[in-house]
Amino acid sequence: MKLSRVPSPVANRVFPVCASDAEVGSSRLRFGRGCRAERVTGEGPHPTPLRGATFSRKREKEARALFAALFVLLCSPASAAEAFITAQGADALSIVDLSKMETVATLPIGGKPAGIAVSRDGARAFVTSPEGKFLTVIDAATRKIEKRIPVEGGPLGVAASPDGKRVYVADLYGRRLVEIDLASGAQRSVGVGAMASGVAVAPDAKTIIVADRDDNALSLIDAATFSRVATIHVGKHPFGVTINASSARAYSANVESDDVSVVDLRARKVIATLKCGSRPYTVALAKGRIFVANQHGDSVSVFDAETLAPVDTLKVGEYPEGLAVSGDGARVYVANWFSNELWAVDAQTLKVLGKAETGDGPRAFGAFIRDAD
């Protein structure tokens, strides 16, 4: 029996429960032997200033030069491929240089950030804060926050339109998908199912899918009319969703039934069910393969996208959640919530290529990769 954490809207309360998927929570519990719960938060002791400490002018100049160099390193515009990782426990966004596999910048976000979407052109990143009830818009190149947009309810899953002009946000509590026009700031919404979670936009920009977690279904939204045109029943508690490059198939990770539903979008029906590890959370596609992050399995299941046959199961960090793929499809990146790491995996050989430390509680729920300029 493996325990997971359940989010609480009440601060500083813990509800350890067996077999429950913690999709939103700001709190994290680690469970050791005997099922003892230990709260882990982004809070901690603050450093105490040194009293009576003095510096010579030379040392003061050296210190200032060091801080200036660090400031340039952390805040200079990006040029390499990067990962934008929502670190929920740290209330921040960790930006990882993928060529070095190291965190090079941290942006304070607030509101317990969870969802992330980098626009297709890499110009902007969009971060949802379920507890803060807002969407943060970030200039990805300069790593600066442009603005925060209020979104009522519980903004969680997020995806950008292929042209980068609109952002779609799933309201976990409001049974709706919110569309935000970035130029005008106008918002409109369409009704979906209960506990709307993951969001994906088809590459052809015609269809949006939303995981309706508590309805065990996917909502299909016509992007042109912004109307719900179909509901497709899948496994139990769908959460992460994705659509393939041809816009023909969708995939949903079903947390409680330990499987992935493969959906034919034209026929609007499930055509296959893939058994995964324990508590599959997100899905990614690369090199003709399907990758699935298994929270409780500390693993990633790999399937052949054509035959749907299992290929392998990879052991990764503790409690993997976010999955994303490099622009060329050569690498798959895994955000491990409990071990505070981002792993890089070769999509063909399935070898681990590197690991990077992130801020506390990396969720990275969404499309978090920004390709090199």
Model pLDDT for residues 250-280, shown as the tens digit of each residue = 999 999 999 999 999 999 999 999 999 999 9
143-180 pLDDT per residue, tens: 999 999 999 999 999 999 999 999 999 999 999 999 99
CATH at 104: 2.130.10.10
| Closest C-alpha among 99, 97, 71 to residue 85 | 97
Taken in order 233, 20, 114, 196, the sign of the CA dihedral is: positive
354 lies in the same domain as 208:
yes
Domain ranges, residue 119: 75-370
Query: 53 lies in a domain?
Result: no
Mean pLDDT for the stretch of residues 35-58 = 34
Rounded Cα–Cα distance for residues 331 and 336 (Å): 16
243 lies in the same domain as 341:
yes
17 lies in the same domain as 152:
no
Environment class of 129 (CB within 10 Å of its CB; exposed 0-12, middle 13-18, buried 19+) = buried
220 lies in the same domain as 82:
yes
Query: 69 lies in a domain?
Result: no
7 lies in the same domain as 122:
no
204 lies in the same domain as 103:
yes
Q: Are the C-beta atoms of residues 127 and 136 closer than 8 Å to each other?
A: yes
Query: 54 lies in a domain?
Result: no
Q: Are the C-beta atoms of residues 240 and 211 closer than 8 Å to each other?
A: yes
198-234 pLDDT per residue, tens: 999 999 999 999 999 999 999 999 999 999 999 999 9
pLDDT band at 24 (very low <50, low <70, confident <90, very high): low
- Lowest mean pLDDT, pick from 9-13, 258-262, 347-351: 9-13
At 46 the pLDDT is: 32
At 372 the pLDDT is: 79
Query: 51 lies in a domain?
Result: no
pLDDT at 14 over 60: no
87-125 pLDDT per residue, tens: 999 999 999 999 999 999 999 999 999 999 999 999 999
The DSSP code sequence of 170-199 is EETTTTEEEEEETTT--EEEEE--SSEEEE
On average, the pLDDT of the chain sits at 85
CA end-to-end span of the chain: 46
Structure-derived torsion over alpha carbons of residues 333, 335, 340, 342, reported in degrees to the nearest 10: 10
At 13 the pLDDT is: 29
pTM: 0.83
288 lies in the same domain as 217:
yes
Number of structural domains in the chain: 2
109 lies in the same domain as 8:
no
Token representation of residue 225: 């009319």
pLDDT at 70 over 50: no
Query: 284 lies in a domain?
Result: yes
| Higher per-residue pLDDT: 16 or 329 | 329
| Higher per-residue pLDDT: 24 or 146 | 146
pLDDT band at 40 (very low <50, low <70, confident <90, very high): very low
